[in-house]
Amino acid sequence: MAEKASGGVQSVERVFELLELITDAGGDVTLSELSSSTDLPLPTIHRLLRTLVTLGYIRQLPNRRYALGPRLIRLGEGANQQLGALARPQLKSLVDRLGETANMAVLDSDMVIYVAQVPSLHSMRMFTEVGRRAHTHATGVGKAILAQLDDDTVRGIVNRVGMPTPTVKSIGDVEALLADLKLIRDRGYSIDEEEQEIGVRCFAMAVPNAPTPTAISVSGPVSRVDEHFADKAVPVLREAALAISQELNRT
């Protein structure tokens, strides 16, 4: 959870604290779970939740749990579009220098969502599209993001959304995933070895110090995206990730 802003409006800080707690809990919580996760008085939590429910930013489920509401979707989509626009120049530079499709994705409710793409000029390319959601364990961007998290957090994500295997090469076991994440942390980038789509390889890297977990990637057919390609792509990806990080954190 983000640190509280110095000199901020207390009620606004409290609202966002609750929204972040619900998000961190996987999207829905009980009143008692919220109360045990914050120092806010129970009447204050209840009053803020009631206001957020009225506005549509929180829903109260039939089982009395509180969940993120539909009005947050529009805000998230707007933020994702802005984030994608910010990153597009760097993604275009990746395509110009490497010749393959470049993507950016963020972690959203235990899945990755693609928020920006610059396609390759090649007729044969990866057809992931902006707005598509995918499981973290079966994508290059997803594994790059997971490698930034601790193992318990990764287990929690997998427990909530499962580990479907889009191809025969997808990782379907959490222990195998954790072993792969250790390799990713050691080398600094992830590889999707035909785990999302047979015939397609992807190299991906997390964007450091991003306000929400974010990663960029270059993807293409295995005939072009090979070991020699990796030698050229990894330094260029690192350069682009750092440049995007600087833009995101510009004051």
What amino acid occupies position 97?
A: R
Taking residues 3-8, report their average pLDDT.
Answer: 49
At 6, the pLDDT band (50, 70, 90 cuts) reads very low
Other CB atoms within 10 Å distance of the CB of residue 99: 18
Nearest CA-CA partner of 216 in 95, 41, 121: 95
Taking residues 124-138, report their average pLDDT.
Answer: 79
At 127, the pLDDT band (50, 70, 90 cuts) reads low
| pLDDT one-digit tens code per residue, 177-228 | 999 999 999 999 999 999 999 999 999 999 999 888 999 999 999 999 988 8
pLDDT in the model for residue 79: 66
- Give the residue, 73 or 249, on which the prediction is more confident: 249
At 122, the pLDDT band (50, 70, 90 cuts) reads confident
Q: Is the pLDDT of residue 168 over 80?
A: yes
Reported as type and span, the H/E element at residue 67 is strand 66-68
| pLDDT one-digit tens code per residue, 29-76 | 888 888 888 888 888 888 998 888 888 888 888 888 888 887 777 766
Nearest CA-CA partner of 49 in 64, 32, 37, 66: 66
Taking residues 67-96, report their average pLDDT.
Answer: 79
What are the residue ranges of helices labelled H in the chain? Answer: 10-24, 31-37, 42-55, 71-98, 140-146, 151-161, 174-187, 227-248
pLDDT in the model for residue 123: 60
CB-count exposure of residue 194 (10 Å: 0-12, 13-18, 19+): middle
| Cβ proximity of 49 and 18 under 8 Å | yes
Question: 8: alpha, beta or left, given left = phi > 0 and alpha = psi -120 to 50?
Answer: beta
DSSP bridge pairs for 105: 114, 215
pTM, full prediction: 0.73
**Rounded distance between C-alpha atoms, residue 107 and residue 111, angstroms:** 6
End-to-end CA distance of the chain: 20
